[in-house]
Chain A
Amino acid sequence: MWFEQIVFWALAAVAIGGALGVVLVRDLFRAALLLATVFVAVGGFYVMMNAEFLAVVQILIYVGAIAVLFIFGIMLTRDVQRGNAPNRLQIPAGVISALLLAAMVFTAVTTDWTTLAGAGRENQAQIAQTQAVGIPDATELTRAGLSAEEVESVAGSGLADLLIGDFVLPFEAVSLLLLAAAIGGLALARGRGR
Chain B
Amino acid sequence: MRPCNLTDGMISPDGVLGGNPLFYWIYGLAANVVPCWLAYVIAGGVIMLILINAVLLGAAIVSWGERRLLGRFQNRVGPNRWGPFGALQPIADLAKLITKEDIIPYGADRLAFTAVPVIMVSSLLLATAVIPFAKDVALVDLNVGVLFVLAVSSLTSIAIFTAGWASNNRYALFGAGRAVAVLISYEVPVVLSLLGVVIVAGSMSLGDIVVAQAVPFFLVQPLAFFVFLAGMSAELNRTPFDVAEAESEIIAGYHTEYSGIKFALIQAAEFGGALFVSGLIATLFLAGWAGPVADWLGWLWFLIKTFIGIFLFVWIRSTFPRLRLDQIMAVCWKFLMPLSFINLAAVVLEVYFLRDANGVLTTADLWIMAAINLVLAVVSITFFGNLIKEKVRSGSGGARSANPVTSGLPTTGTM
Contact = CB atoms under 8 A, between A and B. Distances in A.
Interface of A: 1, 3-4, 27, 29-30, 33, 36, 50, 52-53, 56-57, 59-60, 63-65, 67-68, 71-72, 75-81, 137-140, 143, 152, 156
Nearest to B41: A3
B147 A138 contact: no
Given A3-B37, A30-B109, A64 B157 contact: yes
Contacts of B10: 1, 3
Nearest to B153: A64
B268 interface: no
A59 B157 contact: no
Contacts of B165: 29, 71, 75
Given A53-B144, A65-B184, A60 B154 contact: yes
A76 B150 contact: no
Given A53-B144, A60-B147, A60-B154, A138 B14 contact: yes
Contacts of B180: 68, 72
A161 B161 CA distance: 38
A15 to B, nearest CB: 17
Contact of B177 (A4, A33, A56, A75): A75
Given A36-B158, A68-B158, A60 B13 contact: no
Contacts of A4: 13
A4 B16 CA distance: 14
**Chain B CB within 10 Å — which of A56, A67, A79 has the most?**
A56
A27 B112 CA distance: 12
B26 interface: no
B84 interface: no
Given A56-B147, A139-B13, A68 B410 contact: no
B148 interface: yes
Contacts of A138: 13-15
A76 B112 contact: no
Contacts of A139: 9, 13-14
B251 interface: no
B95 interface: no
B29 interface: no
21 contacts: A30-B109, A30-B112, A36-B158, A50-B13, A52-B143, A52-B148, A56-B148, A59-B152, A60-B151, A64-B150, A64-B155, A64-B187, A68-B161, A68-B184, A71-B165, A75-B409, A78-B412, A78-B413, A81-B413, A138-B14, A152-B143
B409 A63 contact: no
B42 to A, nearest CB: 14
B173 interface: yes
Nearest to B140: A52
B193 interface: no
B9 to A, nearest CB: 4
Interface footprint category on B: 35 or more
B162 interface: yes
B409 A76 contact: yes
A77 B13 CA distance: 46
B151 A56 contact: yes
B408 interface: yes
B109 A156 contact: no
Given A50-B14, A60-B150, A63-B158, A81 B414 contact: yes
Contacts of B177: 75
A76 B157 contact: no
Given A29-B109, A78-B413, A143-B9, 4 more contacts: A29-B165, A71-B158, A71-B165, A138-B15
Contact of B143 (A67, A76, A140, A156): A156
B154 A33 contact: no
Interface in B355-376: none
B142 interface: yes
**9 shortest A-B CB distances, which residue pairs?**
A64-B154, A60-B151, A139-B9, A59-B151, A56-B147, A138-B14, A56-B151, A81-B413, A71-B161
Nearest to A52: B144
A118 B72 CA distance: 59
Contacts of A152: 143
Interface string B184-202: 1001000000000000000
A67 to B, nearest CB: 6
Interface in B161-191: 161-162, 165, 173, 177, 180, 184, 187
A65 B408 CA distance: 20
B157 A68 contact: yes
Contacts of A71: 158, 161, 165
A161 to B, nearest CB: 15
A64 B147 CA distance: 12
Given A57-B147, A59-B151, A139-B13, A29 B112 contact: yes
A107 B409 CA distance: 44
B151 A64 contact: yes
Contacts of B143: 52-53, 152, 156
A137 B414 CA distance: 51
Contacts of A53: 143-144, 147
